[in-house]
């Protein structure tokens, strides 16, 4: 469970290792106009964050295709966290002078680590970069009783925001989704999180097998009554390499069709807006001022370091944007860090076109939309005016008073197609 992986796919589902790029065959470009791009960090307000991936889980959920590993037996947590500290030092050498605005512990299940480990990692980040006094520091957690008891320890360690992987408020779907907590534990965890942390959020998965619109309406209304400032709502997607993928391929897992999925989405937008938690991103809803700052950093195409097994990053080095990825296997990653000072196995310099594509994929998820001028500065090309006009004709995009282009409520269900058209 976790935060969305915005560069991995649209729409997202729980979890992130830091966004992953999907720069693919769907995008066919016309020849670009030549631009002389200024030397800039292509980073609004110099946004910089740190994503920390803790890959271990108590069990593997059947829908999850993220880098998570079930580990049983003795575990040298002290030795493992030393590798995190070393990789943080290496990342800081590549990005001197950055000011950290957000830290996000994702997984996996980072609430399985001890609060002292969390504190050591936060301290390591603060010792190598400047951390803003009001930096958002989020930790993902599962709502089991043993982890809730540790919330106060995480708060003392420096965490000021928690994101809970509730996923359902119904016992049957919880079991089908492979969750280890009960509905009662989930509700209690939400309440305790709200009392311990300054800010909190929780996730739900909808458009599940056999779920009806009436079922979801009742469940979502309960969730909105519980929620305070933020809630993440993800449609279930079937991902290759998961148990759900195998079941679906064998005809043993029926999913809602496109029309029903669209109805689920429309209802979700209506109910959340009526509850004062409108969507600020395709799957994330918040009261004004309660948006996830770390995820906004991703969607605004900011800069971030990825620390830990399978973590991805986007770093500006010598005025070039690097896409980085770490070794996925935890103990291989640890060995690499011991040997090399880091676990990085991918370090690609992104072309202007690739950066432009990523910027579109990320920014068009947001209600605030994207700046055409920034797209040009990043990509060296202009957004096709004819494509904009055509998409406006379909009611899929609109231009805001500040000049930003954004996807409309009508366009969000076909976001992939909108992005492909604008990238062409």
Q: For residue 200, give both structure tokens.
A: 């909190």
- What does the pLDDT look like over 174-195, one tens digit per residue? 888 878 889 999 999 999 999 9
> What residues are paired with 323 via a beta bridge?
314, 348
H-helix segments, 149-292 = 151-157, 171-176, 183-196, 213-226, 243-249, 258-274
**Percent of the chain residues topping a pLDDT of 90:** 70
Q: Identify the H or E element spanning 414.
A: none
Instruction: Please report whether residue 403 resides in a domain.
Output: no
Instruction: Please report whether residue 412 resides in a domain.
Output: no
75 or 263, higher pLDDT:
263
Instruction: Please report whether residue 410 resides in a domain.
Output: no
Residue 22 has pLDDT above 50, yes or no: no
Residue 228: what pLDDT? 93
Instruction: Please report whether residue 163 resides in a domain.
Output: yes
Say how far apart CA 141 and CA 162 lie, in whole Å.
Answer: 7
Among positive and negative, which fits the CA dihedral 313, 316, 318, 321? Answer: positive
Q: How far is CA 140 from CA 54, 209, 396, in A?
A: 10, 25, 34
Residue range(s) defining the domain that contains residue 116? 1-367
Instruction: Please report whether residue 393 resides in a domain.
Output: no
Whole-number CA gyration radius for the chain: 21
Instruction: Please report whether residue 186 resides in a domain.
Output: yes
Instruction: Please report whether residue 82 resides in a domain.
Output: yes
Strand, helix or coil for residue 255: coil
Listing DSSP states for 20-77 in one string gives -----TT--PPPPPP---------GGG-EEEEEEE-EESS--TT--SS-EE--S---H
CB 19 within 8 A of CB 53: no
CATH number, position 323: 3.80.30.20
Instruction: Please report whether residue 16 resides in a domain.
Output: yes
Q: How far is CA 320 from CA 101, 303, 323, 355, in A?
A: 21, 11, 10, 10
Q: Which region among 163-167, 204-208, 244-248 has the lowest average model confidence (pLDDT)?
A: 244-248
Q: How many domains does the chain have?
A: 1
Q: How far is CA 133 from CA 100, 102, 157, 260, in A?
A: 10, 10, 15, 45
Q: How confident is residue 241, by pLDDT bands cut at 50, 70 and 90?
A: confident
Q: What is the mean pLDDT of residues 132-136?
A: 97
Q: Against a cut of 0.85, is the pTM above it?
A: yes
Residue 41 has pLDDT above 50, yes or no: no
The candidate with the shortest Cα–Cα distance to 147, out of 162, 168, 169, 167, is: 162
- What does the pLDDT look like over 221-239, one tens digit per residue? 999 999 999 999 999 887 7
Q: What is the mean pLDDT of residues 31-47?
A: 44
Angular region, 38: left φ>0, alpha ψ -120 to 50, beta rest:
beta
With residues binned 3-state (H G I as helix, E B as strand, rest as coil), the percentages for the chain, rounded to 5, are 40, 20, 40
Crossing angle (nearest 10°) for helices 258-274 and 213-226: 30
């Amino acid at each position: 469970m976790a935060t969305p992986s915005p560069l991995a796919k649209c729409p997202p589902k729980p979890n992130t290792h830091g966004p992953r790029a999907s720069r693919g065959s769907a995008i066919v470009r016309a020849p670009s106009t030549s631009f002389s791009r200024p030397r800039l960090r292509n980073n609004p307000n110099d946004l910089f964050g740190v994503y920390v991936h803790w890959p271990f889980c108590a069990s593997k959920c059947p829908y999850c295709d993220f880098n998570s590993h079930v580990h049983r037996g003795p575990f040298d947590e002290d030795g493992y966290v030393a590798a995190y500290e070393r990789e943080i030092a290496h990342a800081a050498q590549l990005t001197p002078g950055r000011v950290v605005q957000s830290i996000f512990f994702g997984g996996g299940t980072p609430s399985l680590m001890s609060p002292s480990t969390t504190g050591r990692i936060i301290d390591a980040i603060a010792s190598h970069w400047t951390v803003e006094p009001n930096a958002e520091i989020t930790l993902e957690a599962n709502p089991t009783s043993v982890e809730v008891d540790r919330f106060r320890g995480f708060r003392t360690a420096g965490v000021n925001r928690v994101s809970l992987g509730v996923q359902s408020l119904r016992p049957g779907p919880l079991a089908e989704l492979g969750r280890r907590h009960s509905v009662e534990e989930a509700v209690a965890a939400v309440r305790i999180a709200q009392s311990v942390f300054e800010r909190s959020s929780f996730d739900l998965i909808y458009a599940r097998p056999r779920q009806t619109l009436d079922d979801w309406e009742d469940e979502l209304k309960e969730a909105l009554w519980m929620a305070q400032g933020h809630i993440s709502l993800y449609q279930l997607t079937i991902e290759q390499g998961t148990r759900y993928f195998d079941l679906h391929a064998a005809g043993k897992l029926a999913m809602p069709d496109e029309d029903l999925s669209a109805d689920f989405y429309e209802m979700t937008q209506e109910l959340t807006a009526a509850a004062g938690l409108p969507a600020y991103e395709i799957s994330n809803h918040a009261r004004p001022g309660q948006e996830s700052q770390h995820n906004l950093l991703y969607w605004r195409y900011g800069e971030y370091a990825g620390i830990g097994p399978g973590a991805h990053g986007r770093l500006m080095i010598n005025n070039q944007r690097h896409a980085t990825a770490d070794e996925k296997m935890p103990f291989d990653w640890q060995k690499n860090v011991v040997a090399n000072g880091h676990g990085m196995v991918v370090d690609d310099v992104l072309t202007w076109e690739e950066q432009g594509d990523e910027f579109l994929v990320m920014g068009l998820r947001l209600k605030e939309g994207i700046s055409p001028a920034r797209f040009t500065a990043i990509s060296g090309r202009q957004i096709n005016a004819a494509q904009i006009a055509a998409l406006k004709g379909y009611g899929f995009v609109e231009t805001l008073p500040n000049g930003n282009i954004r996807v409309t409520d009508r366009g969000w269900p076909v976001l992939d197609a909108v992005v492909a058209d604008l990238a062409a």
